[in-house]
Amino acid sequence: MDAMFFSLRRETVQKECVIFAMGIREPGNCEILGFYMNPVENHIAYRNFLMDLHERGVEKPLLFTADGLPGIEEKIRQLYPRADFQLCTIHASRNMESHVRVQDRNEIDSDLKG
């Protein structure tokens, strides 16, 4: 799960987020499970999105990969207590880069991808 921001023209042009979820079945087939437009990216928007997925039949996911938005893991655990949660490696890398010397960033990024 993640969100992307798009510029939308209504009365004015403003950026809004589209929260989406991609599922991967055991044979490796990928599918978009849903997307949800919201003015902001926050835990309430993710909660509504997760509740919609649950109501539409997503019952037993094994793993959620998402960014480190505060509250998102708790919302996942409320609806899917048996699912594992993993921080997206891109987001984890970005979070770590702010705590590492500039000259060490490439080495750490390659270790994460390795």
Q: What is the CATH number of the domain that holds 15?
A: 3.30.420
Domain that holds residue 19: 2-113
Tokens of 9: 């023209």
Length of the chain: 114
Q: Is the pLDDT of residue 114 over 70?
A: no
Q: Is 8 in a helix, a strand, or coil?
A: strand
> For 21-38, how does the pLDDT look when each residue is reduced to its tens digit (9 = 90+)?
999 988 889 999 999 998
Task: Please tell me the total count of domains within the chain.
Answer: 1
The confidence score (pLDDT) of residue 31 equals: 93
What pTM was computed for the model?
A: 0.72
Dihedral sign for Cα atoms in the order 29, 36, 92, 98: positive
Helix (H) or strand (E) holding 87: strand 84-87
* pLDDT tens track for 59-113: 899 999 888 788 888 989 999 999 999 887 666 666 677 777 888 878 877 776 6
